[in-house]
Structure 1
Amino acid sequence: MTFPIKWDLESIFKGGSDSQEFTEFLRETDNRMNQWIQRRDEMTIEELVRAIESISPRLRQTGAFVSCLTAQNVKDKQALLLAEKVQEQQVKAQKLHLVLEEKVGQLDEEQFKQLLKVDAVKPSAFMLEKTRKLSEDKMSSEKEELAAKLAKDGYHAWGSVYNEAVGRMEIPFDEDGETKNLSAGQLHNRLGSTDRSVRERAFAASQAAWEEQSPLFTQTLNRLSGFRLKLYEERGWENALKEPLDLNLMTEATLTTMWDTIIKNKPELYAYMDKKAELLGINQLALHDVGAPLPVGDDSKNHIPYAKACELIVKHFKRFSPKMADFAEMALRDGWVEAENRAGKRPGGFCTSFPVNQESRIFMTYDGSMSNVATLAHELGHAYHSWCLKDNEVQSQKQYPMSIAETASTFAEMIVADALVDEADSDDVKQMLIENKLSRSLAFFMNIHSRFLFETRFYEERKDGIVPTERLNELMVEAQKEAYGEKISSYDPYFWASKLHFHITGQPFYNFPYTFGYLFSMGIYARALKSEVSFEESYIALLQDSGSMTVEALAQKHLNVDLTKPDFWQEAIDVIIKDIRQFIKA
């Protein structure tokens, strides 16, 4: 079977950034919204709900298409112009949401209860409950509308500036006797080399590049965070975590319990880090060693061609879930993935859904490393999540939080990682594969923790004014030292500049959802392994509820656990500790 390495966007809208189909789709979306906006004040709550549920998939469709265009070619100027139009439509749609918030907020408790019994809005009950809560926490609808308008060319623009600047970076790197100009994404892949000298040179080149760009990125980070904090101040929000917690449908008690349980268990990871350093032949891991693969006797085993990676993923998904395997085979076969290793692409990876087509598209840069295989499985997990929700006619129930999105993706990773360990044909390959699993634990427990610590402290200092480059570097290194327990020999002071997630405006504190999703999926996976019957349908049922309740309610309903208590988190971490002990003894 053929697995194309470049995606198919033509089946979504023909013509790329010059697509007349897309232009017409934008125009029709605009016409619909303008009609509703003109009479929004006289619309009933039921009419507003129908309008929002109707326009939501079209907005997600246009946003996804533009994201794909700008990711596959960062120099596509026409795509950037389209992104501007999409943002304008999103601002318009916000007007409908604000009127709904105002009208729902004006109801007393009894009136709201009666509203939820109306057949026309009953399926959107969870969305309305969230909307009512938002109405209590925000400014007046007039002020919120003004803030949304200003955000397009203010707040969100800083994220756009960052993306374009990173996309245009060409970083010189000496390789095979010649100097090559690499994109940020291509250089990042060099940090996963089995050759430490390559990693050291890649790290040095990376530091030089991000240092050169740091004056600009100091501005982007400070300005977007400044906008965010001023908006919070006007809303009366003192805690910078309020918005990310609300977006992730999570309480602070759950988040605190998760981090506290991780910190308690970090010494187990220190032993793993010491063992990895020993196997790499060094005294102590540097930051550029943390994610490095262990060398095996036959270095070719460290390189997996793209087609082989696709076959492995389909095969191993099937062991857990035939439905997931069939889906993955379809997605890989039908051109849902852009994985070509070429310059001009933005760094990183993502999965985005096209609800009108009931399809997804996956973006990454594949170079054959084991971590790339994990990334591909990860993004297919996201796509499968959306696929499980495709038949739900209520659009708001398809919009799940990032915390649960990262659960589906890391669950998919875990299936493939465990299966590869079981199939290893030698002890050194098995040890390499176990280490590959553990390196992801290290990323979620320490790398992500350092991001969370940095961002939390940065926002506190930003309240008092601009935080200069030198202080950003200090905050970053301090966070890394604390998160890694001072167990590594060198740090990355410019990580705040190189990591896209700090500059994403749509998802503040885009860090802890990864760790939550990882551990939540580990807990689910542990239960799946213990289950005496197929866990497939139970897992699908959990995913189908992911846009209809808080993470605490989801865990209580499907797993019968309380996420504000450490028991579940410890059960998930125990799975990792078992791997650590196996790795150390090998």
Structure 2
Amino acid sequence: MNDTEYRTVWNLDSIFNGGSESPELYNHMNNTNVRISELEEMMQKMTPEPDQLGDVLARLREIKVSISQMKSFAICLLSVDPNDQGAQFYRGKALALQSRYDSIGSDLKNVLASIEEVVWGSLLVSENLKDYRFILGEWREEAEREPSREVSDLMADGYHAWGQVYQSFMSSIKVQVRGDELSVGQVINLRTHADPSVRKESHEALMAQWIEHEGQFAQILNHLTGFRLNMYKSMDVDDVLQIPLAQNRIKPETLNAMLSVMEKYKEPFAEYLNVKAQMNGDAKMKSYHFWSPMNHDHQGMEYWEAAALIEERFRAFGTEMGEFAETAFREGWVEAENPPGKSAVAICAGFPMTGESRVFMTFPGTFKGVLTLVHELGHAFHNHAMKPVNGMNKSYPMSLAETASTFAEMIILEAAMDKTETDEEKLFLLDEKLKRSVMNFMNLHSRFIFEKNVHEERKEGFVPAARLNELMESAMEEGYTGALDEVPVHSWIWTPHFYKTESPFYNFPYTFGYLLALHLFARAKETGKGFEEQYMDLLRDSGRMTAEDLVMKHLGEDITEESFWAKGMELCVKDSEEFVELAGSR
């Protein structure tokens, strides 16, 4: 019996009371607009003096968190109700304000780039600029690849709007499965159903939807990618990875080292897929059986049980993390209900002005659902750790965001592994761990290959849906080394990461975060409960240095070397070997 109240519906009124009709939200939008107008006037008289520069940066910081607060609120409202017209209005206004903010940032970057080296050096040692040194250096370098003001002004309706169209279209799709009308998110959750016939039927129902709508989705992806390529062309950016690498503060050498190691270690994971397929009575792993549970005992889990488990394990890791989980669950930071029509995508939205986050998901009552929930709470804890950090240094790259979310998953998986009493339980948990390894080393590699190839072909013109299917099939064959049967060629449609306009190539950051989290978790096991403070120090630094410098500072490791990535990969290989051995003994 649940003696503790774990709310399944989040509390948004504590941020802006009244939803999309909130007078507070309306006033917030107007105040933000006024502050941007004031800063635009100030920029016309801008001179690179330390005091004036410090004033501009302070105002930028305030506007940045203000826009983020408004945008996150609109996203949360639309996750619950994609047809909320008020929320659509505020999301559009937030994007327009963001575009103006970005234009001011571009102007400032050009000012910084024009400063002579001698003057630049004296600026950086100014006391009132000490909190901005990293971001100022980064902006000075970025000036060369900034889009023009004209392009920036077009992005809200000519670029980011395509991502919004995708989200709205996906949310509008209803799927019939065994007489029930379900959202895409609910049908995707059926991938973990204990009954293989349900998994197959839900897969086929989704396939029918993708075939019916593939032309429309192809248009969205083509227009989005085409805009991005034209924008890059205007910025003299030839390599489509240049911007994503810069956004993630990763050197090309680091990405190449990670990809090289990933390709060398695929065989053990292909073996795992083959063994699991044989246990299901198949010669090869069928795509719609990949998420199948190893047994039925772990399927039924109430939301309050999941919340209590996460709270307990977070507290075992550290006091700060435990208190954070208690606050999140008791004060309504999580939206977990499972009604029709909800968005298909789990998200974490940060509210930097109030130092809170909100987590949105459709909790399906499975262990996979627990891991999805804890993944998003990992993002929220990262936001929590950043509360004392200067607002301009709160923006951490996606690769490090995925480190925190994956680390949170590992806390739950490790705790569950420690409590296993039978080989069957151990197989179940090894399977859950290996699913994540396969996703990070095979599936995400497939996405990386697909996205690169789509960008290359889009340079030559429109890429029709049939060709996108071929590119997806080829990428998945390469990514999975042929270990997957009935390849889901339409996964380019239901993978939302391809439509994230603010984060192109949102694939390799997951793998980066996964492998880095393995290193951090290994350190945590060596250090014990005292590691929490070191972990939070790393998270707080994540917005003010490169990935290479961050890992060197806190782990003493060089991530441009393959040896770093091999250490993490070898831990995952051990899981595969143990799974294969246990499966064989059965």
Query: In which range does the TM-score fall when normalised by the shorter chain?
Result: over 0.9
Q: Secondary structure at the match of 1:302?
A: coil
- 1:45–1:104 contact (8 Å) kept in structure 2: no
Amino acid paired to 1:165: F
1:32 equivalent to 2:35? Answer yes
Deviation at 1:48, TM superposition (A): 1.9
State the alpha-carbon separation in 2 of the partners of residues 201 and 241 from structure 1.
38
What is the CA distance between 1:411 and its match in structure 2? 0.3
Q: Secondary structure at the match of 1:351?
A: strand
Give 1:168's match in structure 2, choosing from 172, 181, 198: 172
Aligned to 2:247: 247
Shift of the 532–506 alpha-carbon distance from structure 1 to 2, 3 Å rule, reads closer
Partner in structure 1 of residue 66 of structure 2: 58
Q: How does 1:363-512 map to 2 (within 5 A)?
A: 363-392=360-389, 394-512=390-508
1:180-259, aligned counterparts within 5 Å? 180-259=180-259
User: How big is the shift at 1:46?
Assistant: 2.7
For the Cα contact (< 8 Å) 1:279–1:294, is it kept in 2? Answer: no
Query: Could you tell me how far apart the structure 2 residues matched to 1:5 and 1:279 are?
Result: 36
The alpha carbon displacement at 1:532 in A equals 6.2
Looking at structure 1, the residues matched to 301 and 120 of structure 2 have their Cα atoms a distance apart, in angstroms, of 56
Aligned equivalent of 2:155: 151
Which residue is 2:96 aligned to? 88
Secondary structure of the 1:493 match is coil
1:442 deviates by 0.7
Q: Which amino acid aligns with 1:421?
A: M
TM-score (norm 1): 0.96
Secondary structure of 1:121's aligned partner? helix
1:362 aligned counterpart, secondary structure = strand
Q: Distance in 2 between matches of 1:254 and 1:302?
A: 39
Q: Give the Å deviation of 1:273.
A: 1.2
The farther-off stretch of 202-211 and 91-100 is 91-100
Deviation at 1:533, TM superposition (A): 7.0
Alignment match of 1:582 (pick from 578, 581, 584): 578
Q: What code does the residue aligned with 1:281 have? A: G
User: Counterpart of 1:7?
Assistant: 10
What corresponds to 2:550 in structure 1? Answer: 554
User: Are the equivalent residues in 2 in contact too, given 1:380–1:409 (CA < 8 A)?
Assistant: yes
Q: Tell me if 1:278 matches 2:286.
A: no
In structure 1, stretches of 5+ residues that fail to align are: none
Structure 1 range deviating more: 249-258 or 277-286? 277-286
Paired letter, 2:166: Y
Q: Are 1:516 and 2:520 an aligned pair?
A: no
Report the alpha carbon displacement of residue 426 of structure 1 after superposing the two structures with TM.
2.7
Aligned position for 1:338: 335
Q: Could you tell me how far apart the structure 2 residues matched to 1:416 and 1:185 are?
A: 23
Paired residues of 1:45 and 1:103 also in contact (CA < 8 A): no
Measure the CA separation in 2 of the matches of 1:167 and 1:221. 16
SS of residue in 2 equivalent to 1:547? coil
The equivalent of 1:293 in structure 2 is 293
Amino acid at match of 1:171: V
Q: Secondary structure at the match of 2:413?
A: helix
Aligned-residue offset at 1:530: 2.5
CA-CA distance at 1:314 after TM superposition: 1.4
Distance 1:371 1:301 in 2: 9
Are the counterparts in 1 of residues 317 and 529 from structure 2 also a CA contact under 8 Å? no
Q: Secondary structure at the match of 1:303?
A: coil
Cα deviations across residues 275-327 of structure 1 (Å, max 9, x unaligned)? 211222322111112222212xxx34322111000111111222322321221
3-state SS in 2 of match to 1:562: coil
Q: Percent identity?
A: 37
Confirm or deny: 8 A CA contact 2:210 2:490 kept in the other structure: yes
Counterpart Cα distance in 1 of 2:298 and 2:247: 41
The correspondence of residues 128-147 of structure 1 with structure 2, limited to 5 A, is 128-138=136-146, 144-147=148-151
Question: 1:438 touches 1:580 (CA, 8 Å); kept in 2?
Answer: yes
Contact kept, 8 Å, 1:305 with 1:368, in 2: the verdict is yes
Deviates more, 1:44-53 or 1:212-221: 44-53
Q: Secondary structure at the match of 2:285?
A: coil
SS of 2:265's equivalent in the other structure is helix
Contact conserved, 1:385 with 1:405, CA < 8 A, in 2?
A: yes
User: Relative to structure 1, is the Cα distance of residues 269 and 119 closer, same or farther in structure 2, using a 3 angstrom cutoff?
Assistant: same
Cα distance in 1, alignment partners of residues 43 and 412 from structure 2: 49
Q: Do 1:57 and 1:395's aligned partners in 2 also have CA atoms closer than 8 Å?
A: yes
* Residue 190 of structure 1, CA deviation: 0.8
Partner of 1:341, secondary structure, is coil
**TM-superposition CA deviations, 1:138-182 (whole Å, max 9, x none):** 35xxxx2111111111111111111111111111111xxxx1111
Q: In the alignment, residue 93 of structure 1 is paired with which amino acid?
A: Y
How far does the alpha carbon of each residue in 1:468-488 deviate from its partner, in whole angstroms, 9 at most, with x for none? 111000000000000011011
Within 1, Cα distance between the matches of 2:428 and 2:171? 33
Render the CA deviation track for 1:223-253: whole Å, top value 9, x for unaligned: 0110110111111111001111111111111
The partner residue of 1:68 within 76, 83, 92 is 76
Contact 1:45–1:100 (CA under 8 A) maintained in structure 2: no
- The letter for the 2-side match of 1:240 is V
Query: Which residue identity lines up with residue 55 of structure 1 in the other structure?
Result: I
Query: Retained in 2: the 8 A contact 1:48–1:100?
Result: no
Q: Give 5+ residue unaligned stretches, structure 2.
A: 47-51
What is the distance in 1 between the residues matched to 2:279 and 2:313? 28
CA distance in 2 between partners of 1:510 and 1:489 (Å): 25
Change in Cα spacing, 1:63 to 1:533, as seen in structure 2 (3 Å) is closer
Secondary structure in 1 aligned to 2:128?
A: coil
Residue equivalent to 1:571: 567
Distance (Å, rounded) in 2 between the aligned partners of 1:466 and 1:460? 11
Superposition RMSD in Å: 1.2
Once residues 45 and 284 of structure 2 are traced to their aligned partners in structure 1, the CA distance between those partners, rounded to angstroms, is 67
Matching residue's letter, 2:21? D
Q: 1:539: Cα distance to partner? A: 0.8
Q: Secondary structure at the residue paired with 2:266?
A: helix
Distance 1:520 1:109 in 2: 36
Contact conserved, 1:41 with 1:99, CA < 8 A, in 2? Answer: no
CA contact (8 A) 1:526 1:575 kept: no
Structure 1 residue identity aligned to 2:156:
K
CA contact (8 A) 2:551 2:559 kept: yes
Deviation, structure 1 residue 49: 1.3
Aligned to 2:49: none
Counterpart for residue 125 of structure 1: 133
Return the alpha-carbon distance in structure 2 between the equivalents of residues 50 and 415 of structure 1: 37
Distance 2:204 2:88 in 1: 32
* Deviation of 1:45 (Å): 2.6
Instruction: Return the letter of the residue paired with 1:336.
Output: W
